Amino acid sequence: MVPYLTVHDGAAAIEFYAAAFGAKETGERYDEEDGRIGFVALEIDGEPLYLSDENHEYGAYAPRTLGHGTSSVVLHVGDADATYARAVAVGGTVDREPRDQGDERRGWLFDPFGHHWAICSPLG
């Protein structure tokens, strides 16, 4: 399964995900004639993430347009606190600070594009 996020500013989203989570582009980017990103494949710690600018003709709406997100992304990392702090420092919005929950440490934030992220790492 691969998360496929629709955003209102694809170029800025790629920059945010790179700065916050170390995302890297992993293939050829498809740009629309009007400059919107039609598709880009990213990778975060070896895990794929797809992204595009919103395109109403294809039913792709960003959280900003809808007024809310419709799902969450759970990201497993080595250090939830460090990744969470970095994401907030580059523009993420705090939802719930990281804390121990069961066998992992987890914090929740919103990215600048309205997507909800759980940042998790194993305890111990």
Could you tell me if 107 and 118 are in contact, meaning their C-beta atoms sit under 8 angstroms apart? yes
Q: Which residues pair with 93 in a beta bridge?
A: 110
Average pLDDT value for residue range 61-70: 95
> What CATH number does residue 42 fall under?
3.10.180.10
Asked whether the predicted pLDDT for residue 3 surpasses 80, the reply is yes
Mean pLDDT of 40-69: 95
> Distance between CA atoms of 86 and 88, rounded to whole angstroms?
5
- In this prediction the pTM is 0.94
pLDDT digits (tens, 9 = 90+) for 76-117: 999 999 999 999 999 999 999 999 999 999 999 999 999 999
- Grade residue 124 by pLDDT with cuts at 50, 70 and 90: confident
- Phi and psi (nearest 5°) for 59? 75, 20
**What is the C-alpha end-to-end distance of the chain, expressed in Å?**
28
Domain that includes residue 109, residue range? 4-122
Structure token digits, residue 65: 């347009």
Provide the domain count of the chain: 1
Task: Output DSSP code: residue 55.
Answer: B
